Amino acid sequence: AEKGYKAWLQYNEITDESLKAEYSSYFASLSVTEDSPILNAAVEELTLAANAMLGKDMTIYNYFTDDATIILGTYQTIDVEEYGLSADEVKNLNDEGYVIKSVNQADTKKLVLVGKTDKGVLYAAFQLLRFMQTSNSIDGLHHVEQPKNQFRMMNQWDNMDGSIERGYSGNSIFYDENGFTGDLTRIKDYARLLSSVGINAISINNVNVWEVETNLITSKFLPEVQQIADIFRAYGVQTFLSINFASPIQIGGLATADPLDAGVQKWWAEKVEEIYKYIPDFGGFVVKADSEHRPGPFFYDRDHADGANMLAEALAPFNGVVFWRCFVYNCLQDWRDRSTDRARAAFDHFKPLDGKFLDNVVLQIKNGPMDFQVREPISPLIGSMEKTNQVMEFQVAQEYTGQQKDLCFLVPQWKEYLKFDTHAKGEGTTVDSIVNGSVYDFKYSGITAVSNIGNDANWTGNTLAQANLFGYGRLIWNPDATSEDIADDWVRLTFGDDKNVVETVKGMLLDSWHIYENYNAPLGVGWMINQHHHYGPNIDGYEYDVWGTYHFSDRDGMGVDRTMETGTGYTEQYFSPNKEIYNSLETCPDELLLFFHHVPYTYELKSGKTVIQHIYDTHFLGFEQVEGLITRWNSLEGKMDDYRFNNVKERLHMQLKNAREWRDQINTYFYRKSGVPDAKNRTIY
C-alpha cells in the first residue's frame, strides 16, 4: 500500500467512460520546443498522469507540428493567436501566470498551456491535472490565472541530526545523523507537492541554527545543498538557508560578529560569493536573531537594521534577500513584572526602524503577536511599516493546534487573518492587500509558513493534515479562494469523488478549527498548555514562568488587561478604529475578550452568556463534537483504503482523549477558582 504517500497527486484511473474519452483525445501527443528543467518537469508530470489516469503513452515532439494535441511553452515561443488567444492576454500576466485553452473544432482538438515564463507553464500543468482529477470537462476550457502573492514560501524547521523542531510526522526528509539523507527521490516528491500548490521558495533548515547546521554555508555541505537546490529549481522553488548570526565567530575564526565591523562585513561578502558559486539562483537567508537565546546584533549594542543590512549588503550583488524574523521578545521575563507585555514586543522593537532597512530585507512577522495560538488578533506590526518589505508567517505545523493528532484544518483561520481589515490606509486595508505588496508597493512581499511534513509515509502523520499543506499553498496563491472550495478540491483529489466521502470529510475539516477552539484555552487567552512539548492542558503550566504567557486567573476573574487606561497599552499599537474596538469592553469581540481584558467570571458576553458559563458550555460541547467527528469518520469505513481509514481513526481517538482532558481540567480549574456552578449541572470534578 502506498500509505498516503501520493497525497493529492493520486492520478487515479479515470473510470467515467465519457470523461476518459474526452481527456484521451487531448492526451495523444505533446509538443514543446523550449528546453528548461521546469518545462521538463511539466512534461514529466503530464506524462506520468496520462499514463496513470488514461493509460496513454504520449508522443513527445520537440518541435511544433500540427499533429500535436498538447502545445506547451512560454508566450514567446507559442503563436498564441493561432489558438484564439491574444498575445496581450498572456503578456500582461505576472511572471508566474498562465493560460490554459482548449480548442475543440470539428477536426482539431488541442490543449494549449502557455505561461508568461516556464514557471507559469508548470503551474498550468498542475492545474489542468487538478481539473481532470476532480472530474471536470476540459472541452471549451479557457482558464487564466496568476498568483496574488510574490513569495509563497515554506520554512522547514529541520535539524541535521534528523529531528524536526515542532515536527509531528517523523524525522526530516533532508537530514540524518548530522548529514544529508541522500534520499533525493523523496525530496523531488516533496518539490512536486509544493509546486503543485504554487509554493515557490523554501528554506531547508531550522531557524534555530545549531552547531552542525552553522556549517551548511561551508564547502563541507554546500555541494549537497546544491543538489537539493537543483531539484527544487526544476519545480520553480528557490532555495534559502537559515543562518547563525554568530557564524563569523563559529566558522570564520573571527573574534566578533558585530555587524558594523569591517572584517565581519567582508567575511559575509565572501561567504555569500562562495554560496552563489554552488547555487547561482540562491534565494538568500532566513534569520532568527536575538530571539530565544539566539545570537544577534543586540549583543553588540547594534539594532536590527544594522544586523539585517549587513547581510543584505552581502546578498545584494546576487539579488539575494534576507528574511529577518520579528519574533523578538524577552523570554526571561519575571512573572512578577506586570508591566512587560510580550504581545507588544515585535512592534516595539521594529516599528521605530521603519525606513532604515535596505530594500532586499524582508521582515518576517508571525500572524499574531504571540505565537500561533488557536486564536490571536493580527500582529499590529502588519501594515504599520510603510517603508519596509514585509511577509507574514503562518504555522502549518500544528504546534498549538493539536500536533497532527487532533484534527484542525487551518485554512478558515488563515482566511480570517488575511481578510482582517487593519485600516492602515483607511477602511479596506486588509491584511492580504498589505502582504501582497499592493498597499505600500513593497519590492518583496508574500507569505511564508512553518512546514508540517516529515518522513512518515504520508508526510504529515495524520492523513487529514495533508489538507493544511495543500490549503496553505492554494490559499496564498489566491486569498480570495473560499475554505469550502479548497477543502472540496483537497478531498476529491485525495479520496476521489464519492459524494458521501466528499461531503463528510469536507464537513469535518471545515468544523475542526472551531471544535479545537471549543475545548482549548477560552476566548483568546491562549497557552494553558504543557511545558516544552505544548500538547494537552496545563492551565498554570506557564503562569509563573519566564515566557510572558499568562492568564492571571484569580477567584474573581481572568484575562490579560492590555488596554491603554489600566493595562499594558498594547491596544494602542493598532490603527483606529481597531484600537478603540479592542480597547473597549463594549466593542471587543467575544472570541478575543480575554486576550485584551481582565474580566469577572460573571461578566456577560455579547452572546448573552457569562464567561464562566461560556467556558463550561464550550468545553462540554467541544468534547461531544469530537465524538461526532469519530461517528462521521466511522461512516466512511470501506470507502477508502484501510491504511488511511485507520490512520485517521487512530488519531481521532487520541483527539478524544485530549479533548476529555482539556474539558475536565479547564472546567474543574475554573469551577474551583470561581465557585460558580454549571447552570446545567454537568459533571465537574
Residues labelled as active-site residues: 292, 371, 399
Shortest reach from residue 486's CB to ligand GCW, in Å: 25
For residues 585 and 566, give the distance between their C-alpha atoms in angstroms, rounded to a whole number.
12
User: Does 535 sit near ligand GCW (CB under 6 A)?
Assistant: no
Q: Which residues of 540-555 are buried (b: 16+ CB within 10 A; e: fewer)?
A: ebbeebebbbbbebee
DSSP state of 597: -
Query: 469: which 3 cell numbers?
Result: 499543506
Q: In this complex, which beta carbon is closest to ligand GCW, that of residue 157 or of residue 595? A: 157
Residues in 69-98 at the binding interface with ligand GCW, rule: CB under 6 A: none
User: Does 538 sit near ligand GCW (CB under 6 A)?
Assistant: no
Question: C-alpha 212: how far from its chain's center?
Answer: 26
- Tell me how many residues contact ligand GCW (CB under 6 A): 9
Q: In this complex, which beta carbon is closest to ligand GCW, that of residue 403 or of residue 512? A: 403
User: Does 342 sit near ligand GCW (CB under 6 A)?
Assistant: no
DSSP state of 537: B
Selected binder of ligand GCW within 6, 56, 271, 288 (CB under 6 A):
288
User: Does 112 sit near ligand GCW (CB under 6 A)?
Assistant: no
CB 597 within 8 A of CB 588: yes
CB 540 within 8 A of CB 533: no
Shortest reach from residue 622's CB to ligand GCW, in Å: 24
Shortest reach from residue 157's CB to ligand GCW, in Å: 5
Q: In this complex, which beta carbon is closest to ligand GCW, that of residue 290 or of residue 488? A: 290
Dump the DSSP string for 74-140.
Answer: ETTTS-GGGGT--HHHHHTS-TT-EEEEEEEETTEEEEEEEESSHHHHHHHHHHHHHHHHTT---TT
Judged on CB neighbours under 10 Å (0-12, 13-18, 19+), 282 is buried
CB 651 within 8 A of CB 4: no
Q: Report which residue's Cβ sits closest to ligand GCW.
A: 371
For residues 201 and 153, give the distance between their C-alpha atoms in angstroms, rounded to a whole number.
5
User: Going residue by residue from 146 to 185, which x/- string records binding to ligand GCW, judged by CB under 6 A?
Assistant: -----------x-------xx-------------------
For residues 276 and 217, give the distance between their C-alpha atoms in angstroms, rounded to a whole number.
10
Shortest reach from residue 400's CB to ligand GCW, in Å: 8
Selected binder of ligand GCW within 29, 40, 127, 208 (CB under 6 A):
208
Shortest reach from residue 118's CB to ligand GCW, in Å: 34
Shortest reach from residue 382's CB to ligand GCW, in Å: 16
Shortest reach from residue 128's CB to ligand GCW, in Å: 37
R_g of the chain computed on alpha carbons: 26
For residues 412 and 406, give the distance between their C-alpha atoms in angstroms, rounded to a whole number.
16
Selected binder of ligand GCW within 85, 121, 201, 207 (CB under 6 A):
207
User: Does 290 sit near ligand GCW (CB under 6 A)?
Assistant: no
Query: 560: which 3 cell numbers?
Result: 490579560
Selected binder of ligand GCW within 151, 180, 327, 582 (CB under 6 A):
327
Strand partners, 73: 114
Q: In this complex, which beta carbon is closest to ligand GCW, that of residue 309 or of residue 395? A: 395
For residues 201 and 447, give the distance between their C-alpha atoms in angstroms, rounded to a whole number.
10
Q: In this complex, which beta carbon is closest to ligand GCW, that of residue 542 or of residue 616? A: 542
Q: In this complex, which beta carbon is closest to ligand GCW, that of residue 398 or of residue 571? A: 398
User: Going residue by residue from 422 to 461, which x/- string records binding to ligand GCW, judged by CB under 6 A?
Assistant: ----------------------------------------
What is the total residue count of the chain?
685
Shortest reach from residue 560's CB to ligand GCW, in Å: 18
Shortest reach from residue 65's CB to ligand GCW, in Å: 53
Strand partners, 176: 179
How far is CA 339 from each of CA 270, 330, 334, 567, rounded to the nearest angstrom? 44, 12, 10, 8
Query: 342: which 3 cell numbers?
Result: 510580550
For residues 337 and 340, give the distance between their C-alpha atoms in angstroms, rounded to a whole number.
6
Shortest reach from residue 298's CB to ligand GCW, in Å: 16
User: Does 27 sit near ligand GCW (CB under 6 A)?
Assistant: no
Query: 641: which 3 cell numbers?
Result: 483504503
Q: In this complex, which beta carbon is closest to ligand GCW, that of residue 349 or of residue 619? A: 349
Residue among 23, 78, 31 nearest 59 (CA): 31
Residues in 367-396 at the binding interface with ligand GCW, rule: CB under 6 A: 371
- Letter for the amino acid at 359? D
Shortest reach from residue 548's CB to ligand GCW, in Å: 11
CA torsion, ordered 473, 478, 479, 484, to nearest 10 deg? -80
* Strands 98-105 vs 142-145: parallel, antiparallel or unpaired: antiparallel
Dump the DSSP string for 632-676.
Answer: HHHTTTTSS-HHHHHHHHHHHHHHHHHHHHHHHHHHHHHHHHH-P
Q: In this complex, which beta carbon is closest to ligand GCW, that of residue 99 or of residue 365? A: 365
Q: In this complex, which beta carbon is closest to ligand GCW, that of residue 547 or of residue 601? A: 547
Query: 161: which 3 cell numbers?
Result: 541530526
Binding footprint of ligand GCW on the chain (CB under 6 A): 157, 165-166, 207-208, 288, 292, 327, 371
